[in-house]
Amino acid sequence: MTTKAATANEGNDSLAHTAPRPSTPRRDFTLLPVSPENTLVIACDSCGGVGDKPEDLVPVSPEITGKFTCRVAAMEVMSTGAIPCLVIDTLAVEWEPTGRRIMAGIEAFLEEAGIPLVPLNGSTEENFPMKQTGMGITVIGQVPPQELRSGIAAPGQLLVAAGIPKVGKEIQHPVDPEILSIQDFITIRRHPGVADLIPVGSKGIQAEARLLAALNGLSLEWQADCPLPLAKTAGPATCAVAAMTPEALAALRETITTPLTVIAALT
């Protein structure tokens, strides 16, 4: 199924069909200014074949499915400095028991992230029996435009990977010490010596590092002996790349338990 994004030209087919798409690098979120004091940050994610149904490819509990899918979109929003204010889940499963258990996982993540009172809404599939788990999620956050933390990296900063890229069965449950915890993610985002922060998903560390550099008009000097698999998928944002000062790196290594690995310098 194809959909057409709403634009100012919607209703005029000749304009809507010929409008050029942006060719500049883009993050995985949408910024929507709603007033001089407030900007909405919108991010979404999807997950299929991960759960406890007969045809799922990665066998985990529905709670894990909900928690990690919410994590991806929420971290993308929070990476900008925005605070989530609404979560919408679209579940391609029945409410009882799978949908209810996925919802419990979403709520558990929000509690863990320190945002338990955010409104949560969505839908489930009640017309047909599902043999495989599928879901989508949208997280909406808000931030004053002057407090947006994106596109502010500078030459001389280090590009650091926080966490180890993992996917599927590689992730240890309930806690994997090698992946980026939400608590450490928040600590990194709040450190004044950290500029840009981008969660890493299926594109891998290398792609997100190049995106960060491009968004800031900078180049990368890659670390020659970096031990991480830079092209490997990081699944549900098991790691992130951050532009930070050397002083911030030293301080964070004393503060958080997530592994921090220098992958490049920004020039």
Angstrom distance (rounded) from CA 176 to CA 148: 30
Residue 176, pLDDT > 80, answer yes
Q: Mean pLDDT over residues 92-118, rounded? A: 96
Amino acid 16: pLDDT: 38
Angstrom distance (rounded) from CA 121 to CA 107: 11
Residue 7, pLDDT > 60, answer no
The one-letter amino acid code at 87 reads: V
pLDDT (tens digit, 9 = 90+) per residue, 213-237? 999 999 999 999 999 999 999 999 9
Angstrom distance (rounded) from CA 167 to CA 236: 7
Amino acid 3: pLDDT: 36
pLDDT (tens digit, 9 = 90+) per residue, 131-145? 999 999 999 999 999
Angle between helices 62-78 and 182-190 (to 10 degrees): 0
Q: Burial, 183: exposed, middle or buried (Cβ in 10 Å; 0-12, 13-18, 19+)?
A: middle
Tokens of 120: 């949560």
Percent of residues, the chain, with pLDDT higher than 90: 85
Query: Does residue 240 contact residue 256 with C-beta atoms inside 8 Å?
Result: no
Amino acid 15: pLDDT: 37
Got the DSSP string for 216-260?
A: TT--EEE-TT--S-TTS--TTT-EEEEEE-HHHHHHHHHH--S-E
25 pLDDT tier (thresholds 50, 70, 90)? low
Percent of residues, the chain, with pLDDT higher than 70: 91
Span(s) in the chain for CATH 3.30.1330.10: 27-147
Q: Does domain 27-147 have CATH number 1.10.1060.10?
A: no
Got the DSSP string for 200-221?
A: E-TT-HHHHHHHHHHHTT--EE
Mean pLDDT over the full length of the chain: 90
In 3D space, the residue among 257, 253, 237, 240 whose CA is nearest the CA of residue 160 turns out to be: 240
Q: Which CATH number describes the domain made up of 158-266?
A: 3.90.650.10
Span(s) in the chain for CATH 3.90.650.10: 158-266
Query: Does residue 169 contact residue 65 with C-beta atoms inside 8 Å?
Result: no
Amino acid 28: pLDDT: 85
pLDDT (tens digit, 9 = 90+) per residue, 47-101? 999 999 999 999 999 999 999 999 999 999 999 999 999 999 999 999 999 999 9
Considering only 14-23, 111-120, 241-250, which range has the smallest mean pLDDT? 14-23
